[in-house]
Structure 1
Amino acid sequence: MKLGNKIKEAREFKQLTQNELVKISGVSRASLQLYEADKGNITLENLEKIANALEIDITYFVSPSNVSKSTNFVSYSSPNANLESQTLNDDIINIPFFENVRASAGSGTYNDDESNQTLSLSKGFLRECFGLYSFINLSVILGQGDSMVPTLPENCYLLVQQGEVKEGEICVTRIEDELYVKRLQKRPKLKLLSDNKAYEPISLDGEDFEILGRVVGYFKKTTL
């Protein structure tokens, strides 16, 4: 699919007019019209503005046919990313399902056994239910505890997408040998926050930690 069609289809999926996307993104209307018509050269800065306005990972817009020798778009995608899997076709994708890996929405849980199964879901389902356009680096693990209630129910399956996590997003973080699912605070200090106010924030200062990815959705255990 051409870049212009991707931008237009993503905009229409968000139920935005061109004028509305112009206001949100800061990209001029004349430029947006050219981009959607696949005329003119889009800059990396404007592509980032459009992706942010549509709440889409910029890698969704990247495909071999969109990459110019004078640009550096490829550096924004994972080296192992299958870019063809990011199209809007409603075909089935297989997502790694780590049933025995638990991220605690409480005080922390660790599991040595990482039994890997596969969960088959359609891209249409993932788009409709979770607003996903990029389908790379997804996995499903079990979330335990009640520190993210009411946002996340206790003992639900978490759909996690590996990659950058923005301020305020729910993420999965490894602290030493334990996994936590919390909301990320970047400023003024790096902390993990619980939506359940009965739990104290966890400071990451001085910790051996790794932010693994963001939680993009969840399933109740009865649905899998």
Structure 2
Amino acid sequence: MTTFTERLNSALKQSGMSQHQLAEKVKISQPAIQKLLSGKSNTSRKIVEIANALNVDLLWLTKGIGKAKLTKNSANATMLGAIDEWDSKTPLDEDEVEVPFYKDVRLSAGNGFADDIEDYNGYKLRLSRSTMRKYGIDKDCAVCLTVYGDSMEPVFRDGSTVGINQADTNIRDGKIYAINHDGLLRIKILERLPGNQVKIRSYNSDYDDETVSLDDITILGRVWWQSSILD
């Protein structure tokens, strides 16, 4: 398997950009880019921006999972329209559904956070019916929770809200799942291994991979959506 440094160097070469151009594009110093390329550093708070600038898949760049998916540059945003205020008394629009939001139940993106997912507080979030239909999410199987910790940064920030599809519990390598691990609610990248084993991965390279028996975890569902506040 290639290293992060090797993948980054390859992606930069394929992009045709110089170190200086990449640094300018993601708004960090050129020496910081040079440290990543030389292997002196293997993570950056700008890793998402770097992957986007190089037009490669973030999971491939950080963990070597999947394909680089190099494609031609194209527009990556769509204007959705104005933002309307609403509260619990506002009628649902035709394209809106409400899903339970376990506001006080937090999924750990660190070393684990003990809590009970059944402790529902009555909060709800409104999501797009058409978006859920597009991704095959049944509203009756969807719940939202809060992410706690930094092991899944920079993709999932501390305090992010994530949507869980409770109907999707079959492990697909490289996908992100909410799991109950010995009473700890966690959000992690999962990968099946021989012998009924599962590898638990984090985006943050400060956290080591873990290998556990499939019997030791309960998969609560796959993470399909997230929302967070940018600094």
- State the alpha-carbon separation in 2 of the partners of residues 125 and 195 from structure 1: 26
CA drift at 1:206: 7.4
1:204 equivalent to 2:212? Answer yes
Partner of 2:82: none
2:151 is aligned with 1:143: no
- Given the two structures, how large is their TM-score scaled by the length of structure 1? 0.52
**Structure 1 match to 2:125:** 119
> Partner of 1:17 in structure 2?
none
Matched-pair contact (CA < 8 Å) for 1:138–1:161:
yes
8 Å Cα contact 2:97-2:128 kept in structure 1: yes
Cα offset, 1:134, TM superposition? 2.7
Alpha-carbon separation, structure 1, partners of 2:135 and 2:125: 16
Q: Secondary structure at the match of 1:124?
A: helix
Does residue 189 of structure 2 align to residue 186 of structure 1?
Answer: no
- Tell me which stretches of 4 or more aligned residues in structure 1 moved more than 6 Å: none
1:105 aligns with 2:99: no
Q: Which residue in 2 is equivalent to 1:94?
A: 98
* Map of 1:168 onto structure 2: 174
Aligned mates of 1:90, 1:114 — CA distance in 2: 26
Q: Summarize the Cα distance change of 1:125–1:147 in structure 2 as closer, same or farther, 3 Å threshold.
A: same
Match of 1:214 in 2: 222
Q: Distance in 2 between matches of 1:134 and 1:191?
A: 26
Quote the Cα distance in structure 1 between the aligned partners of 2:193 and 2:215.
Answer: 17
Distance 1:194 1:121 in 2: 27
List alignment gaps of at least 5 residues for structure 1. Answer: 1-88
Q: Structure 1 residue 133 and structure 2 residue 139: aligned?
A: no
- Contact between 2:198 and 2:214, CA under 8 Å: does it hold in 1? no
- Report the CA distance shift for 1:207/1:198 in structure 2 as closer, same or farther (over 3 A): farther
Per-residue CA deviation, residues 163-198 of structure 1 (Å, 9 max, x unaligned), is 233111000010121101000011244121001111
Percentage of matched positions with identical amino acids: 28
Residues in 2 aligned to 1:116 and 1:203: alpha-carbon distance in whole angstroms: 36
Match of 1:195 among 192, 197, 203: 203
Residue 155 of structure 1 aligns to a residue whose secondary structure is coil
Which consecutive unaligned segments of at least 5 residues does structure 2 have? 1-92
Q: TM-score, normalised by structure 2?
A: 0.51
Aligned residues: 131
Aligned partner of 2:161 in structure 1 is 157
Q: Deviations over 1:55-83 (max 9, x none)?
A: xxxxxxxxxxxxxxxxxxxxxxxxxxxxx
Amino acid at match of 1:133: G
CA distance in 2, matches of 1:217, 1:208: 26
Shift of residue 203, structure 1, vs aligned partner? 2.0
